[in-house]
Structure 1
Amino acid sequence: MADKHLDPDVLSALREVMEDEFSTLVDTFLADCEERLQLLRQADSAAQLTEIAHSFKGSSSNMGAIRLAESCGKLEQDAKTLPAADIDQLIGEIESEFAIVRPLYESERQRSPAAS
């Protein structure tokens, strides 16, 4: 299941590069995601949504969260043209995907040598 949500090659490369700091990277990413989700919910303009979705997409992509990055990309692209209900639905999809990937990242962190 993880392969549909997380890119194993990206995770492997990050683990290799970050070594002992991998678990810190995962913690930082998860906290960052929580913050961005809150910001998406509070955004009061299409420009804000676009900006937040863009940075969320970038960090998700860098961390190998394939579907999360795709959903953020969709929001970034369509924030200016979609009706509010559709934007809420997209934000809901992003939240749902984060709910799926969070435990996957937590188990990846447990596999990290620094965690053992």
Structure 2
Amino acid sequence: MSDIHIDQEVLSSLQEVMEDEYLTLLDTFLNDSEIRLSQLHEATSPEALGLAAHSFKGSSSNMGAKVLAELCGRLEERVKSPPLNNIEDLINQIDNEYQAVRQLYAQERQRVLIG
């Protein structure tokens, strides 16, 4: 798994703590992340965008998706300083990073299932 995107120690700790529920945790994170991405894209105010970024940052951090969490944190800070020129670039970076993370968690899921 790519250490660039995912903190492997966080995932190992989560697997130890969650035991049989670890795969459910991965699935829940991925499902929630899809919703959070939609919230980022559909936000109609800086406040809504900031809230969506904040919650996505927290869940990403908890799951060891360190680059994703950092990008969401950057977005959360960015919306505090209008105008929001080029904010789409940052949201696109979050989209791209999430796609990488999603793929890595799919691999992690396979690794655990084969285990």
TM-score of the superposed pair, with normalisation by structure 1: 0.93
Distance across 2 between alignment mates of 1:82 and 1:22: 40
Tell me which residue corresponds to 1:30.
30
Opposite residue 3 of structure 2, the aligned amino acid is: D
Asked if 1:17 corresponds to 2:20, the answer is: no
Q: Which has the higher contact order (CA 8 A, sep 6+)?
A: 1
**Deviation string for 1:1-44 (max 9, x for gaps)?**
61000001000000111111111100110011111001100001
* Count of residue pairs brought into register by the alignment: 114
Moved over 3 A (4+): 82-85
Distance across 2 between alignment mates of 1:86 and 1:55: 21
| Larger CA deviation: 43-52 vs 82-91 | 82-91
Tell me which residue corresponds to 1:91.
91
Percent identical among aligned pairs is: 55
Tell me which residue corresponds to 1:78.
78
- Structure 1: give runs of 5+ residues left out of the alignment: none
| Larger CA deviation: 84-93 vs 28-37 | 84-93
Q: How many angstroms does 1:85 deviate by?
A: 4.0
Tell me which residue corresponds to 2:67.
67
Asked if 1:46 corresponds to 2:19, the answer is: no
Opposite residue 106 of structure 2, the aligned amino acid is: E
**Deviation string for 1:61-95 (max 9, x for gaps)?**
00000100000000001113254442111110000
TM-score of the superposed pair, with normalisation by structure 2: 0.93
Opposite residue 43 of structure 1, the aligned amino acid is: A
Opposite residue 55 of structure 1, the aligned amino acid is: S
- Structure 2: give runs of 5+ residues left out of the alignment: none
